[in-house]
A and B are shown apart, each in its own frame.
Chain A
Amino acid sequence: MRFTRYLAFLNKPYLLLLGYIFLSVVLMNFSDTASLRGVRWALLQILNVVDSFKTEFAYRKNLEAENERLKKENFYLHITNQRMREMVLENARLRELLNLKSEHSYEFIAARVIAESAEKGINSRLLNVGEQDGVKENMAVVNAEGLVGKIIGVSAHQSIVQVLTDLNCRVGARLEKSREKGIVGWGGDPWLDLEYIPKNIRVEPGELVITSGLSEIYPEGLKIGVVTDFSETDYDMFMSVRLKPAVNFNALEEVFVIKTEIPEKITLE
């Protein structure tokens, strides 16, 4: 009897609402605990099953056309590869001459996008590779066009990549010509913003913006986007630079996770 009296608030809509709001706020504070991660991954398994049916169907349908296209692409890549090999050999000889070591020899994990975020504003993709494939949190993700984002969650067989057009994503970047450093982020516009570029720096539309390599997450030199426009005001120390993303995030299908040694926890101290 006493117990049911405690549950009487369930009949009062406003008290019930306050209860749920309280629970939501509590969840926000415990958003990243191990037990909640377990529940999260259990739900993701359902999506994986649905996707396996969907992709199997789509793959079979497109197989012939894909095969023809790949043959042509293979021929083109074969020629390009030959030229690249010559260039790598030439580069190696020149590096030896300059006594430089090759700095980037990353291992890649090929992955396929199997689902997208169900919520607006959060821009993430679910990949079909996980811990058992060597994926860890904070590994950078790229495709042939450039930087896609970073891994923010990993289960045994899947992982979640936060893409650059997520409101919470920030990437240390550098203008390719001036080498000036800034931060790339997304503010809800169709373009990316490059922040903290001083007004005295010369910026040109068409200039490439790459990762600065100063963070432990993103290796140096990954293409982020191209400057399309910039503006400055009298009262601001920095100019406002707009970038066209290098990657078409709406058409993400195949990506690569860069296998790097990531520290367990990154602190700013």
Chain B
Amino acid sequence: MNKSHLRYLLVFLAALIVQSTVVKYLEIVHWRPDLLLIILVMYAVQYGRKLGSTAGFLVGVSSDLISGGLLGLGALSKTITGFIAGGVSRLFQERSQFIFTLFLGGLIHDLIYFYINTLGKEVAWRVIWFVHIIPNLFYTAIVGMVIYYFAGRWLKADD
């Protein structure tokens, strides 16, 4: 395991704890940034589909264990997100690679997550789109850009 992987592992663990304890203080209306998704997309962009989906699965399972919800749901959505983020990132130019991949990955993640979580229930998808998914996505993207600007180079460095 090179140092970059180790740094990502530590950041994933920190993000998991911060997401459950401190992120509530960043809440605007009822929107919160998804730190785990940001780190996952950064990792997948750097290491591709195989490691992206592996990290997505492990992060998703950990997140499910802490959330108390259906175990496997976060794992499924984050596995697919990690896989897609690792694959599509090459389609974008390097300067905008992370942010476009984060948008696309976040969208796919939330769609899978909300779709499975609401199976068999009558829910207002219009509300879920415009009140939950899209504002959360933008908020996550803004926080993602800040994290990428300050920590992106440090996380990527191999030496």
Contact = CB atoms under 8 A, between A and B. Distances in A.
Interface of A: 10-11, 13, 16-17, 20-21, 23-32, 36, 39-40, 43-44, 46-47, 50-51, 54, 114-122, 124, 126, 152-153, 160, 162, 167-168, 187-190, 250
A187 B53 contact: no
B142 interface: no
B17 A47 contact: yes
A13 B34 contact: no
Tell me the dominant secondary structure on chain B's binding face.
Answer: helix
A190 B131 contact: yes
Contacts of B121: 167, 187
Contacts of B17: 46-47, 50
25 contacts: A13-B49, A16-B50, A17-B53, A17-B80, A20-B53, A21-B80, A24-B57, A24-B73, A27-B71, A27-B72, A29-B72, A30-B71, A36-B71, A47-B17, A47-B20, A117-B20, A117-B68, A118-B20, A119-B67, A120-B136, A121-B117, A187-B124, A189-B127, A190-B131, A250-B27
Contacts of A153: 68
| Interface size classification for chain B | 35 or more
B30 A47 contact: no
Contacts of A24: 57, 60, 72-73, 75-76, 79
B132 A44 contact: no
A49 to B, nearest CB: 9
A228 to B, nearest CB: 16
Contacts of A119: 63-64, 67, 69, 73-74, 113
Given A117-B67, A119-B74, 8 more contacts: A16-B54, A24-B72, A40-B68, A46-B17, A115-B66, A116-B21, A119-B63, A122-B70
A54 B21 contact: yes
A44 B68 CA distance: 10
A188 B128 contact: yes
Contact of B65 (A13, A21, A40): A40
Given A16-B50, A26-B72, A54-B22, A121 B113 contact: yes
Contacts of B64: 27, 119
A221 B24 CA distance: 31
Contact of A118 (B27, B30, B36): B36
B61 A122 contact: no
B8 to A, nearest CB: 18
Interface string B28-51: 001010101000000000001110
Given A119-B74, A120-B136, A187 B127 contact: yes
A27 B22 CA distance: 28
Output the residue of B24, B62, B63, B72 with the most chain A CB within 10 A.
B72
